[in-house]
Amino acid sequence: MRDTIRFVHKGQIRELENIDPTQTVLNFLRYEAALTGTKEGCAEGDCGACTIVLGELDAEGQIRYQAVNACIQFMPMLDGKQLLTIEDLKHRDGVLHPVQQAMVNQSATQCGFCTPGFVMSLVAERLGRNSSVTVDINNVLAGNLCRCTGYGSILEAAREAADDETVDHITKELDQSVQLLKELQKDGSLTLNWKGRRFFAPKSCEELAELIATYPQATLLAGATDVGLWVTKQHRNLETVILVTRIDELKTIDMHKDGLTIGSAVTYSAAWEKLAEIYDDLGELVRRIASTQIRNSGTIGGNIANGSPIGDMPPALIALNATLNLQGKSGIRQIPLEDFFIEYGKQDLQEGEFVRSVSLPPANEKSLFRNYKISKRFDQDISALCGAFSLVIQYIVVEDIRICFGGMAGTPARAFNTENALKGKSWSMENIVTAMAAMDKDYTPLTDMRASSEYRLQTAQNLLKKFFIETTSPEVDTRVLEERNAQYA
């Protein structure tokens, strides 16, 4: 049992005691470590001014570097990781990091407030780069906002840096960093107690179940992309916090004969490739969630457990008939994911339980899946509504269809009337029009700042039509037509 936070910084292991467990990494850097290069813009994960890079050992013992928002990371989340801030980039001999140099060369800064964040996002991409993949700069920088430059020169700098193959000093010192991180891996669970605030970071599911049984009112913490804002924006006092992301069992993605099981502490970034392999639209859905920084911390388990009616993953997972695996002291309980969401703010999580994983059945060769996220901005925006459609056609007849929407009710909700209007019928525009009308009975959406009730309902109905057109129009998707032609031949 440890009561100090240990992480790698500036080529050595740093050990901190007496730390407020819900102090943000940003506040620690600025107010305690006097590292003020990392800025605070929004304190809610939106602007990227606070971007830092964290390195963590993966299962193969390699360091995976990722950009995250320091404003919504709590200090104990640094434990076991390597920290890089903007101050760590310039080499001891005074030479700028290639990304910094590119920003200078392209005059990519005006007031400079956003610049450290942009630089850190580009550095993280460079450190984690797979040389065979073309850099998608827009995606890398979607979580960084600038009020001054107009972005043109920043993008030029990003391109220049991407072409510069100079090996930076962080990469040159990689072996040393790996050794230090391996040393930290030997550390056991973490227990902090600071002025009545308790923080636990267990390393096994059994330990987690014990802790939840002892502290039933504790806040479970994964990536903190929701919980972080409870502290920075709502100023809530979290008395007891239990971090789930140090538990390896919760961070596995397991492809097996019965489908795919994703541990609750798997981040969007870690799950992205696997989900995209199963269905293109699952990959696109992950790409549309927030920004690179948020996807590097935010977990699929957190997105389910928070019970939000506008969380992006649940509609897709429900349409794909996912099962939720909940664990407590007495073992694992499995329920259909859709049954987890009872009503707004109420989930079927019994006392002592936590979300262990979510399982998807194997992709059915006959099934077609589409997901549509509707939001005001393409990147870094919460859905006004998000619709998922999973269809099984036998010849031209709808054998099964599951439709689920977020943003249309107090929970993610199936469109049962719409589904029933289509099941057993031919997959035709005439039947789609009837089914669109049936959707009136499925939903009475709210009007809020994201969209009006009328907009939501009409858009949801139109998304069904879009799904039909995409699955039948040869210009959009030839697979279905070819399949059907083959069946009729």
Ligand X SMILES: Cc1cc2nc3c(=O)[nH]c(=O)nc-3n(C[C@H](O)[C@H](O)[C@H](O)COP(=O)(O)OP(=O)(O)OC[C@H]3O[C@@H](n4cnc5c(N)ncnc54)[C@H](O)[C@@H]3O)c2cc1C
Site residues for ligand FES per CB under 6 A: 40-43, 45-50, 69, 71, 109-115, 146-149
By the rule CB under 6 A, 5 interacts with ligand X: no
The smaller minimum CB distance to ligand X, of residues 170 and 316, is found at 316
Residue length of the chain: 489
By the rule CB under 6 A, 312 interacts with ligand X: yes
By the rule CB under 6 A, 145 interacts with ligand X: no
Minimum distance, C-beta of residue 225 to ligand X, in the bound complex (Å) = 3
Contact partner, 418, from ligand X, ligand FES, none, Cβ < 5-8 Å per class: none
Contact partner, 441, from ligand X, ligand FES, none, Cβ < 5-8 Å per class: none
By the rule CB under 6 A, 442 interacts with ligand X: no
Give the binding range for ligand X (CB under 6 A) out of 112-120, 161-169, 217-225, 468-476. 217-225
Minimum distance, C-beta of residue 210 to ligand FES, in the bound complex (Å) = 34
Per-residue binding string, ligand X, 46-75, x by CB under 6 A, is x-----------------------------
Pairing of strands 253-256, 323-328: unpaired
The smaller minimum CB distance to ligand X, of residues 120 and 355, is found at 355
Contact partner, 80, from ligand X, ligand FES, none, Cβ < 5-8 Å per class: none
By the rule CB under 6 A, 412 interacts with ligand X: no
As a whole number of angstroms, the distance between CA 386 and CA 412 comes to 9
- Binders of ligand X among 344-363, rule CB under 6 A? 354-355
Could you say which of 220, 320, 385, 421 contacts ligand X (CB under 6 A)?
220
Give the binding range for ligand X (CB under 6 A) out of 33-41, 42-50, 334-342, 444-452. 42-50
Contact partner, 113, from ligand X, ligand FES, none, Cβ < 5-8 Å per class: ligand FES
115-127 helix and 98-105 helix, angle to the nearest 10 degrees: 130
As a whole number of angstroms, the distance between CA 22 and CA 64 comes to 25
Contact partner, 325, from ligand X, ligand FES, none, Cβ < 5-8 Å per class: none
By the rule CB under 6 A, 221 interacts with ligand X: yes
Nearest-CB residue for ligand X: 302
Q: Note the residues at the interface with ligand X (CB under 6 A).
A: 44-46, 219-227, 244, 264, 289-290, 294, 297-299, 301-303, 305-306, 311-312, 354-355, 382
